[in-house]
């Protein structure tokens, strides 16, 4: 059972690395992938928030947005309803998959007790996991992932070959 987390500076390509590696594992190895991914929401070139997507169903919601009423992380209001419904639900369903993708374990996601509980259930399972980990979170769950996973730091120099390296780390040849 392999568990890998990628970390790095904002905007360096962590989510892209994970998405490419997961895509290769699904396409070339036939692995059933479940979990979540996040993406920026931009308007006129400015980031207004983040969306969240269930990888198995394609269902999307809002993780955080500049307009909203949930708890704040920086300038964003966290959407606890979509974190509980979409993110936590997708993670629990991913327990039936070959590989669980968690993008991201970060400050916004860690505002949700349902998200935390779902990740804890995954950590207690025998599932392989590929996660994006916020680089400086001191939350106990982030610390646990940092201690228990193989952690790779994404930077401009390695982000292009890291997806292939991750595939190999999971025991597959590209």
Q: Is the pLDDT of residue 28 over 90?
A: no
Q: In Å, what is the CA distance from 78 to each residue of 14, 40, 111, 124, 131?
A: 21, 14, 8, 26, 20
Q: What tokens appear for 71 in the block?
A: 């708890």
Condensed to tens digits (0 to 9), the pLDDT of residues 110-123 reads: 999 999 999 999 99
Q: Is the pLDDT of residue 98 over 70?
A: yes
Q: What tokens appear for 21 in the block?
A: 């590696």
User: So what's the pLDDT on residue 19?
Assistant: 97
Q: What is the mean pLDDT of residues 45-70?
A: 96
Domains identified in the chain and CATH numbers: 3-169 (3.40.50.300)
Exposed/middle/buried for residue 45 (C-beta within 10 Å: 0-12, 13-18, 19+): exposed
Instruction: Name the nearest CA neighbour of 174 among 14, 23, 7, 19.
Output: 23
Instruction: Name the nearest CA neighbour of 153 among 170, 132, 123, 129.
Output: 132
Condensed to tens digits (0 to 9), the pLDDT of residues 124-169 reads: 999 999 999 999 999 999 999 999 999 999 999 999 999 999 999 9
User: So what's the pLDDT on residue 174?
Assistant: 61
Could you give the strand order of the β-sheet that contains 3-7, starting from the edge strand earlier in sequence? 72-73, 76-78, 60-65, 46-54, 33-43, 99-105, 128-133, 3-7, 150-153
CA dist 118 and 123 (Å) reads 9
Q: Is the pLDDT of residue 173 over 90?
A: no
CA dist 53 and 58 (Å) reads 6
Q: Is the pLDDT of residue 172 over 90?
A: no
CA dist 130 and 150 (Å) reads 10
């Amino acid at each position: 059972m392999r568990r890998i987390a990628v970390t790095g500076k904002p905007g360096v390509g962590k989510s892209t690395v994970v998405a490419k590696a997961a895509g290769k594992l699904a396409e070339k190895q036939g692995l059933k992938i479940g979990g979540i991914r996040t993406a920026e929401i931009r308007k006129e070139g400015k980031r207004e928030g983040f969306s969240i997507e269930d990888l198995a169903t394609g269902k999307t919601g809002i993780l955080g947005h500049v307009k909203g009423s949930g708890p704040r992380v920086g300038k964003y209001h966290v959407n606890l309803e979509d974190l509980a419904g979409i993110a936590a639900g997708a993670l629990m369903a991913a327990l039936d998959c070959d590989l669980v993708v968690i993008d991201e374990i970060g400050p916004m996601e860690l505002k949700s007790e349902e998200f935390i509980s779902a990740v804890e259930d995954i950590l207690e399972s025998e599932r392989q996991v590929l996660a994006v980990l916020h680089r400086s979170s001191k939350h106990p769950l982030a610390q646990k992932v940092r201690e228990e996973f193989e952690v790779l730091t994404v930077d401009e120099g390695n982000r292009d070959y890291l997806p292939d390296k991750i595939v190999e780390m999971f025991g597959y040849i590209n």
